[in-house]
Amino acid sequence: MNPTPNEDPWYSEGLCFNCTQCGNCCSGSPGYVWVTLDEIKEIEGYLKKQSISLGPYLRRSKGQFSLIEKSSGDCIFLQRLDSGKALCQIHPAKPSQCGKWPFWNTILKTENDWEKQATDCPGMNKGKLYSFEEIEKIRLEEKDG
């Protein structure tokens, strides 16, 4: 339920989040990591590839491009380490959708949606307190570039 124009969102006092590098946000198929043409070019530049094209890295769905998943459900660019940590192989060029985690509209819709997602993300409700203004900036910003 979205707040009325005169009502503050449920997270107006801020939310805590600290990435633990568990990789849970980068896993779980089916899912979509939407990428724009500019983001595709940025990933190609970072990987020093002429084209990441459809097939090994991208798929078309709903008229857009999305990164594909491995058979495990992990993002094609997620690398799981023996230590239990997970690293993004394209972190400096990651899509803006990834950089906004966990401040996605679908997760911020209700407090229940947030808490439900927090059962899979050990960094939610822990660590740095993000103010309402910081959350809104992350949620609404476009990727620099």
Amino acid at 38: D
- Global pTM reads 0.82
- In a domain, residue 10? The reply is no
Number of domains in the chain: 1
Cα–Cα dist 138/104, whole Å: 9
What is the tens place of the pLDDT at every residue in 24-54? 999 976 789 999 999 999 999 998 877 777 6
Q: Give the β-pairing of 15-17 and 128-130.
A: antiparallel
- In a domain, residue 113? The reply is yes
Domain range spanning residue 26?
15-140
- In a domain, residue 9? The reply is no
- In a domain, residue 83? The reply is yes
